[in-house]
Amino acid sequence: MQARAGAGVDTLALSTTEGAMTAGPMRFSGRYALVRELGSDLPRWALVAGTELACGDLQLLSSDAPVTVGAVTDEGVFRASVRCETAAVVTMRCPTEPGMVRLNGVDQPVDVSFDQAAGTVRMALPPGSYELEVRGL
């Protein structure tokens, strides 16, 4: 389903099968996915119990185990809530060049790394719930 959201368009999809699914410009593997497109920007996206989310040519998330993630980019700050039932290595698109990084309120956590060229953040997480915040330079 696609719906107007102010100046943007939300694409929302529920999966009825195992494996990858396509809905509009979105490809995902999981139970539920949402992407908000605002021009060429993707300021908000979510994936429930999945391992992959992409929109067009942009890979938003990949994980080696199912995770639930909700992410938003607003005024140079990238925020993501991540929940995993089992240990997971999670890679997310991070459009903000990091100046400050916090994971669960702690600055510069050891297990968070950035790939500047790809514009991604990668985390190795044990089971649990996490709040990631990346503030721009």
Residue of higher predicted confidence among 81 and 113: 81
The pTM (predicted TM-score) of the whole model is: 0.87
Burial class of residue 50 in the structure, from the number of CB atoms within 10 Å of its CB (0-12 exposed, 13-18 middle, 19+ buried): buried
Using the predicted structure, report yes or no on whether residue 110 has a pLDDT greater than 60: no
Using the predicted structure, report yes or no on whether residue 60 has a pLDDT greater than 70: yes
Which of 74, 85, 64 is CA-nearest to residue 130? Answer: 85
Tell me what pLDDT residue 108 has.
Answer: 56
- DSSP conformational letter for 70: E
Answer for the pair 47, 104: CB distance below 8 angstroms, yes or no. no
CA–CA separation, 122 vs 59, rounded Å? Answer: 13
**For tokens 């060229």, what's the residue?**
117
Angle at 128 between CA 63 and CA 14, to 5 degrees: 50
| Residue 15 Cα distances to 22, 31, 49, 72, 135, angstroms | 9, 5, 11, 22, 33
**For tokens 């990346």, what's the residue?**
134
Average pLDDT estimate for 14-24: 84
Q: Label residue 78 by pLDDT band (50, 70, 90).
A: very high
Residue type, 37: E
Using the predicted structure, report yes or no on whether residue 70 has a pLDDT greater than 80: yes
Tell me what pLDDT residue 109 has.
Answer: 55
Answer for the pair 94, 85: CB distance below 8 angstroms, yes or no. no
Using the predicted structure, report yes or no on whether residue 39 has a pLDDT greater than 70: no
What are the residue boundaries of the structural domains of the chain, listed by start? 2-136
Fold topology of 2-136: Chondroitinase Ac; Chain A, domain 3 (2.60.220)
Q: Label residue 17 by pLDDT band (50, 70, 90).
A: confident
Give the pLDDT confidence of 119-135 residue by residue, as tens digits: 899 999 999 999 999 98
Q: Label residue 5 by pLDDT band (50, 70, 90).
A: low
